[in-house]
Amino acid sequence: METLLTLNPFKPHTHILKFPNYPICSRISHRRCLFSPISCKLSSQPSNDTAKNKVVVPGAAPSLSEEIEAPAVEDIRRTKTGAGGGFIQRLTKRVLAFLSNLPLAIGEMFTVAGLMALGTAIDQGENPEYYFQKYPEDNPILGFFTWRWILTLGFDHMFSSPVFLGTLILLGASLMACTYTTQIPMVKVARRWSFLHSANTIRKLEFSDSLPKASIQDLGVILSGAGYEVFLKGPSLYAFKGLAGRFAPIGVHLALLLIMIGGTYSATGSFKGSVTVPQGLNFVMGDVLGPNGFLSTPTEAFNTEVHVNRFYMDYYDSGEVSQFHTDLSLYDINGKEVMRKTISVNDPLRYDGVTIYQTDWSISAIQILKDDEGPFNLAVAPLTINGDKKLYGSFLPVGNTDSPNVKGISMLLRDLQSVVLYDQEGKFAGVRRPNSKLPIEINGTKIEIVDAIGSSGLDMKTDPGVPIVYAGFGALMLTTCISYLSHTQIWALQDGTTVVVGGKTNRAKIEFPDEMNRMLDRVPEINEPSDVICG
């Protein structure tokens, strides 16, 4: 009857067999003397007349007896399947082999990257007339690319177009096929403990060495203390560590799938919209937000009313606008204020899945007193908009407003700090700051600038795929780091009084021999046969 010995001081529910604390130095040389007792862990199932003892290893691969029975079970399964089942299996294998092809997966990734770059270059979500003018047929880009390509293939909404989504689905299928056909079998093989019974086979490994006058049990204790899972069967030893590194590629594939699923959900299930609201007015979220794709579903937050309490700007010493702010209040369907926040550029408001960004500004009106009457609100129109350089104008009629040649006072604003006034002849009359309470008389009319009313430019969107994308990127970073863990395997064979040791690793191949030599130097040399037997 054979007994399998597992050496791991950290495994629970095992029996610990310790040697008495007699001087171990009596059987080993003083040069490599160990002053601690040798511990062996014996884990086995009760034996009977027909079964051998088995190592009980949590999470380990099937035992050798089960592996031997597997081919017979597979033959029975194939017999029961029949011809129809065999055809389906062969077709499935061919499809999986095609999808898991590495050049195909690389081509899919480059295609996705190219489509994303194209979607960045082409303005998204514009009216068809915009593409008619920018990509005309009489002047095609690269000699062939016109608005027909954009509108036919859906490149005006690239990230929800059938071409982009189809390529993503194909890439996801390739990742799953590679995981199923390559990564999972590799993990199963890595988890399966096996023994080598030939010294010549061990010597052909990446690293090999021989320990004269050594005990394989002592080697097992040293390896167990170094974090290895150790298995003994008669004169053979097998040990491994770093199995998590074998699981990491599966985690990387799953993380990539999460990122693609989250991105697809964002492209097909989100809402977005833009609005410019003068100070003091309000709007309903649902009236601004528009769906992006077929999975877009409104929520209760769409009934929320947004009120612009105040809009104001900060300025540099030179007078240029440095930052602009909007004080917003949110009211539910019952008119109760549920949130209030002052937003600015790069500091949005988030409420129940809806994000409101501060993106732009303008001037909607000038509030004045005319001859101490009022106040009156004069509409303001943009005159010139060139990047950040903006100019707004307003006009106050003076005299007969029914005349075809109406004359009046002109007002120009660059921002909310000051108003430049011109008389009826277009001559410069003066500059006044809003709320300065300093009147100015122009052509017999007394004018006081009370306020310049700004408008807040807001962008709104919902993005339900963001948590999934963040989770995918977090998992990708974690599994990428784990993938750098080395999966190391060591085999040993007791050949008389000599222990033949060999091993291999999938990473850190330069450091591996040094690590092995350090562990082997700790194995004691036996001067005389030991009376103690483990196993």
Q: Are residues 342 and 470 in the same domain?
A: yes
Per-residue pLDDT band for 3 (boundaries 50, 70, 90) equals: very low
Angstrom distance (rounded) from CA 460 to CA 433 = 33
Q: Are residues 231 and 104 in the same domain?
A: no
Is 77 a member of any domain?
Answer: no
Q: What percent of the chain has pLDDT over 90?
A: 58
pLDDT at 176: 93
Q: Are residues 374 and 321 in the same domain?
A: no
Residue 140, CA distances (Å) to 115, 120, 188 in order: 19, 19, 55
pLDDT in tens, 259-296: 999 999 998 899 999 999 999 999 999 999 999 888 89
Q: Are residues 98 and 176 in the same domain?
A: yes
Choose the weakest-confidence range: 86-95, 291-300, 386-395, 447-456. Answer: 386-395
* Domains of the chain: total: 4
User: pLDDT at residue 73 above 50?
Assistant: no
Cross-strand bridge partners of residue 40: 17
* List of residues 6+ apart from 380 with CB closer than 8 A: 363, 364, 365, 366, 392, 393, 394, 413
Is 252 a member of any domain?
Answer: no
**H or E stretch at 118:** helix 102-121
Q: Are residues 337 and 369 in the same domain?
A: no
HSE toward the beta carbon, residue 20, CA cutoff 13 A: 4
Is 372 a member of any domain?
Answer: yes
Contact 272, 285 (CB under 8 A): no
pLDDT at 251: 92
Choose the weakest-confidence range: 117-126, 187-196, 369-378. Answer: 187-196
Q: Which of 183, 203, 227 is the last residue of a domain?
A: 183
Q: Are residues 231 and 292 in the same domain?
A: no
**H or E stretch at 290:** strand 290-291
Average predicted confidence (pLDDT) for the chain: 82
Q: Are residues 104 and 178 in the same domain?
A: yes
pLDDT at 83: 54
pLDDT at 387: 59
Q: Are residues 163 and 94 in the same domain?
A: yes
pLDDT at 160: 86
Q: Are residues 308 and 414 in the same domain?
A: no
Per-residue pLDDT band for 25 (boundaries 50, 70, 90) equals: very low
Is 384 a member of any domain?
Answer: yes
User: pLDDT at residue 6 above 80?
Assistant: no
Domain enclosing residue 419, as ranges? 363-398+408-454
Is 110 a member of any domain?
Answer: yes
pLDDT in tens, 332-357: 999 999 999 999 999 999 999 999 99
Question: Cα dihedral angle (528, 529, 534, 535), rounded to 10 degrees?
Answer: 150
Over residues 120-132, mean pLDDT: 90
Q: Which of 153, 183, 213 is the last residue of a domain?
A: 183
Over residues 455-482, mean pLDDT: 94
Choose the weakest-confidence range: 6-10, 186-190, 319-323. Answer: 6-10
Give the E-state strand segments of 332-400 in sequence order. Answer: 337-344, 349-351, 354-370, 373-379, 381-386, 389-398
pLDDT at 186: 78
pLDDT in tens, 141-197: 888 899 999 999 999 989 889 999 999 999 999 999 999 998 888 777 766 668 898
Q: Are residues 310 and 379 in the same domain?
A: no
pLDDT at 273: 93
pLDDT at 390: 87
Over residues 5-13, mean pLDDT: 42
User: pLDDT at residue 440 above 70?
Assistant: yes
Is 64 a member of any domain?
Answer: no
Q: Are residues 95 and 170 in the same domain?
A: yes
pLDDT at 66: 38
pLDDT in tens, 35-65: 333 333 333 333 343 333 333 333 333 333 3
Is 94 a member of any domain?
Answer: yes
* List of residues 6+ apart from 400 with CB closer than 8 A: 406
Q: Are residues 137 and 209 in the same domain?
A: no
Q: Which of 134, 157, 183 is the last residue of a domain?
A: 183
Angstrom distance (rounded) from CA 350 to CA 180 = 40
pLDDT at 506: 87
Is 2 a member of any domain?
Answer: no
Residue 48, CA distances (Å) to 43, 54, 55, 111, 358 in order: 16, 12, 15, 62, 78
Angstrom distance (rounded) from CA 210 to CA 306 = 79
Over residues 83-97, mean pLDDT: 82
Cross-strand bridge partners of residue 351: 354
* Burial readout 179-201 (b: 16 or more C-beta within 10 A, e: otherwise): beebbeeebeebbebebbeebee
